[in-house]
Amino acid sequence: MQTTLSFDDFWAWLADHPNCILRAGTADSVVYDDDDYYWRFSREDARTLLVQVVRGKRLVAELFIEPEHVNTVQVSPGEKGEFNFDLLVEVQGQPQVAYYFVMTHALEEPQQHVPEGPRGRLH
């Protein structure tokens, strides 16, 4: 089952789940996660976001993403329990995958906050 979400929603969620990335890339490249790697998210400039894969202090790979060109993020189940997050752009009126992230789990719905009473019991 495919779902879509905005790039802003995806980016905020992705930044909170760097340890859940299995691989990421473009049509021309792919970066696989490794136990020695960590994923870092930042801003290159006012228009460009940066995804870096780092091992220790050494840069392994980086993706530059211009969010203004991403129309939507399409989410679909992948192989072996993986989940694909395809960042779609429009080229000559047709949607194309510009970037993708393969994750260990899908986007979770935010949990509803239930106020607690005395000693942690619910009212």
Residue linked to tokens 């429009």: 90
Domain residue limits, the chain: 3-107
Confidence label for 109 from pLDDT (cuts 50, 70 and 90): low
CATH code of domain 3-107: 2.30.29
Q: What percent of the chain has pLDDT over 90?
A: 78
Query: What is the pLDDT, as a whole number, of residue 107?
Result: 82
* pTM over the 0.95 mark: no
Mean pLDDT within 48-56: 95
Mean pLDDT within 3-27: 94
- Does the pLDDT of residue 115 top 80, yes or no? no
Query: What is the pLDDT, as a whole number, of residue 119?
Result: 44
Cβ partners under 8 Å of residue 108, min gap 6: none
Cβ partners under 8 Å of residue 3, min gap 6: 74, 75, 76, 107
